[in-house]
Amino acid sequence: MATTATTAEQLAEARAAYHRLMIGEAALVYVDQNGERIEYTRASAPRLAAYIADLERQVAGQSRPATITFQTSKGT
């Protein structure tokens, strides 16, 4: 019987995967909590870093921001 990893365990696995990726190991395959298979390469490191940040927020008990606001201005 398979067990579901806790968010903290997933965070540890994702951090380890990021480390391996950054030190030049081959592309990594990670299965997230939904069972989705994701392959990370060095080019997709920012996506993996965003996933780690999301897990860190979950572990800290914070929710994902619902709205992102951008402000732009034209040079005058």
CA atoms of 56 and 23, how far apart (whole Å): 22
Domains of the chain: 7-59 (3.30.1580.10)
Q: Which of 30, 34, 32 is nearest to 21 (CA)?
A: 30
pTM: 0.57
pLDDT digits 0-9 by tens, 7-45: 889 899 889 888 888 887 766 777 777 888 888 777 778
pLDDT score at 4:
61
pLDDT score at 56:
92
pLDDT score at 54:
92
Confidence of residue 76 (pLDDT cuts 50, 70, 90): low
Sign of dihedral through CA atoms 63, 8, 35, 40? positive
pLDDT score at 64:
59
Contact 57, 63 (CB under 8 A): yes
